[in-house]
Chain A
Amino acid sequence: MNILVCVKHVPDTETAVKIGSDGKSISTQDVNFILNPYDEYAVEEALKIKEDKGGEVTLITLGPEEAKKTLRTGLAMGADKAIHLPCDAPPDSLSIANALAEVIKDIEYDLIFCGKQAMDNDNAQVPIMLAEKLGLPNVSAITKLELEDGTAVAHREFEGGVEVVETSLPAVISAHKGLNEPRYASLKGIMMAKKKPIEDKPCDCGDAAIEIVDVTYPQQRAGGKIVGEGTEAVPELVKLLQEEAKVI
């Protein structure tokens, strides 16, 4: 089975993101970028299937030159090769999905994996839009997957339960936490990744379909009132919740 995995280069979740000088983007200074954590689940699932059924795992990312670092991370986990679509500032999800679809339509694959959501703009849209643009079914935010002949059965959580979805293949499937435990790259994997091919392909990120008006910091919570220690503080807490906060 040949599997494509779409991955994104995003700021580490520990990073304190700061607004850039244009007031519309973030400052990338002192920001550590990583393979989007949800995409780790996507890469892991692809590698598990490859180990079981054979085939190749190809990573694809649209992003700046530095995004190749993220491709190397996925190659070190065990992916075979990667495609880089140069774009200094990946725009909105629709434009990214269009650009990815334009390149992917000429590639042969049996399945496409994505992460549920990129931990930068938290859109959770690219996989679903990509599926529509490629004319494929999608199953988003899955926590379990079983492949059968030409079909896949996936679990997706909703408010109140789990939907068991059956889809024909190829399909675009996006991974949620819980799908698997992503492996760590071994030292050998990291060494081998350096030699694996990364192909640059021209792409057109197009005109953004969304205009960014401004970026602001949210209001900080004041917080910080310690009521007391141990069980003795409970009556005071209940009183505050009733009389000051008026929530019970």
Chain B
Amino acid sequence: MKVLVFAEQRNGEFRKAAVEALCEGRRLADGELIAVVIGKGAADLGGQLGAYGADKILAFDHDLLELYSTEGFTACLQKAAETVSPDAILMAATAMGRDLAPRLGARLDVPVLADVTKLSFTDGNIEAVRPVYAGKLNVTVRSKKSPGIATTRPKAFLPTEPDGSKTAEVVAMDAAVGDLKARVKQVQSEAEGMIELTEADFIVSGGRGMKSAENFKIIEDLAKVLGGAVGASRAAVDSDWRGHGDQVGQTGKVVAPTLYIAAGISGAIQHLAGMTSSKVIVAINKDADAPIFKIADYGIVGDAMEVLPVLTEAIKAVK
């Protein structure tokens, strides 16, 4: 089985989730593993993917491809698919991947298995497990058309260690990308050094119980000591204490850190939808009956405003 993986990069850096998709592609492919790199300097960048097991890199480098565009990137992947005739196409279920995969699927007239957590080949086509109804159920689905396309949920697949001795052949590619009807005019980047929630190993989230935007300073302090990111419940976001990008849950982000600390969050079903795949969950809530304690591995009943600063100091001492 031949697998094609779109290796998402921005500003010359591959996304962690893209490396995960590539490594999963290696596990799946008993034949060739081909990576597609799109953007400025794609050919130079692509070389390093050999270390994760890619046999060949198709590099699309074009001025119009410096910034993401659904149409431009779809044209490249369509060309790549025509060139190598893969049995499956994978990409990470990031903002970019979840925009690109359906467009490519519709172009090739094949379905997309979205945001999957497990993959295999069955009778020559891909089969996947994907959480549905905000994680209340898992469904096993099989693509009836080939090539099957899947987007892989960040952190659901483990990356392998890169092996620097392995190299891949880089092939410069050309695609007709002109005449984009929708294009990115500007990118407003977040502050340097911010850790993306979906990629974070440690997340400290605050809810309505934090009572004000200012009080999130104590959440930020703990996140910093842990080297993690700050999350929030919808109640905190809707109170304008945090931006939309920080919301965890059904209408926010789905996260799966090693450690998730929920402070002043009651544990509504829509919040749980975004964080129950975390490895370890800690809850701090002054109400001993709060539903969050039912799913938390460890709980402290108490005032988050008092507990968090002490916890921050205690962790600082052992880190």
Contacts and interface: CB of A to CB of B under 8 A. Distances in A.
Interface of A: 11, 13-14, 16-17, 19, 26, 37-38, 92-94, 97, 119-126, 128-133, 136-141, 143, 153, 156-168, 171, 176-178, 207-218, 221-231, 233-235, 237-238, 240-242, 245, 247-248
Contacts of B310: 231, 234
B79 interface: no
Nearest to A226: B299
Interface stretch (B39-47, B83-91, B181-189): B181-189
B132 A120 contact: yes
What is the interface of chain A mostly: helix, strand, loop, or mixed? Answer: mixed
B127 interface: yes
A94 B110 contact: yes
A22 B130 CA distance: 19
A159 B199 CA distance: 9
B190 to A, nearest CB: 5
Interface residues of B, number: 94
A212 B139 contact: yes
Which 7 residue pairs are nearest across A and B when measured between Cβ atoms?
A: A167-B182, A132-B106, A137-B181, A158-B95, A137-B182, A128-B102, A209-B111
B143 A159 contact: no
B98 A124 contact: yes
A166 B138 contact: no
Contacts of A165: 182-185
B235 to A, nearest CB: 13
A226 B270 CA distance: 23
B70 interface: yes
B78 to A, nearest CB: 11
Given A211-B142, A224-B293, A163 B184 contact: yes
Contact of A225 (B68, B115, B181, B299): B299
A241 B280 contact: yes
Interface in B99-124: 99, 101-103, 105-107, 109-115
Contact of A157 (B133, B245, B280, B296): B245
Contacts of A132: 74, 102-103, 106-107
B15 interface: yes
Given A212-B139, A223-B296, A233-B300, 12 more contacts: A17-B136, A128-B102, A132-B103, A138-B103, A140-B98, A163-B186, A167-B181, A176-B244, A225-B296, A225-B297, A233-B302, A238-B318
